[in-house]
């Protein structure tokens, strides 16, 4: 699980260490693109809905994991709790897609981090999420 599949860049780092993160994943951290933090998921059969598209729960889980990672990184705190998360489902994801979460920090205060994430598959946008994290 520590070696990235060939569909991912060799620098991809597995961030799924256990619990729901591993059960729903694995999720990967990619090298940043300027001030954009990047994460990846390869869509597997377990991630699908009955219509053959990526399940919305996977998109929200991916958004939550990616933005939580960034809130911990920028705050330096051992943990951050999701307070709120809003997700627009813009387009369907497909089996075997490598989807990418591109996360930006909107604002950071002493106790809170405001974040947004675009989830894309190549040129296509699948979801747009924003959220608020409490630094604990």
Partner 1 sequence: MENRLAMTLAPPFGFIQTELIDPFERHIGPIFEQGVKGARRFAFIVEDRHVNMRGVIHGGMLMSFADAALGQAAWDVCDHAHCVTLNMQSQFLAPAKVGDLVEVLPELTRRTRSLMFLRGDFTVGGETIFTVASVWKILGQD
Where on the chain is the footprint of partner 1 (CB under 8 A)?
17-21, 23-24, 45-51, 55-58, 60-62, 64-65, 68, 79, 81-89
Query: In this complex, which beta carbon is closest to partner 1, that of residue 58 or of residue 70?
Result: 58
The CB-of-20 to partner 1 minimum distance in angstroms stands at: 4
Nearest to 1 by CA among 11, 101, 9, 17: 17
Measured in degrees and rounded to the nearest 5, phi and psi for residue 103 equal -110, 135
**What's the closest the beta carbon of residue 34 comes to partner 1, in angstroms?**
27
The nearer residue to partner 1, 1 or 10, going by C-beta atoms, is: 1
Question: Parallel, antiparallel, or unpaired for β 112-121 and 98-108?
Answer: antiparallel
CA angle 9, 113, 69 (to 5 degrees): 30
Question: Closer CB to partner 1, residue 34 or residue 46?
Answer: 46
CB 48, min distance to partner 1, A? 5
Nearer to partner 1, 23 or 111 (CB): 23
DSSP letters of 3-58? SPPTTS-TT-EE---SHHHHHH---EEEEEETTEEEEEEE--GGGB-TTSSB-HHH
């Amino acid at each position: 699980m520590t070696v990235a599949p060939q569909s991912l860049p060799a620098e991809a780092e597995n961030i799924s260490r256990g619990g729901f993160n591993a059960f729903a994943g694995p999720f990967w951290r990619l090298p940043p693109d300027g001030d954009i933090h990047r994460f990846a998921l390869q869509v597997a059969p377990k991630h699908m809905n009955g219509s053959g598209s990526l399940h919305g729960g996977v998109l929200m889980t991916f958004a939550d994991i990616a933005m939580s990672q960034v809130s911990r990184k920028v705050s330096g705190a051992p943990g951050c709790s999701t307070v709120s998360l809003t997700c627009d489902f813009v387009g369907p994801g497909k089996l075997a897609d490598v989807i990418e979460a591109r996360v930006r920090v909107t604002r950071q205060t002493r106790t809170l981090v405001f974040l947004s994430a675009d989830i894309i598959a190549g040129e296509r946008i699948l979801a747009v999420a924003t959220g608020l994290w409490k630094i604990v």
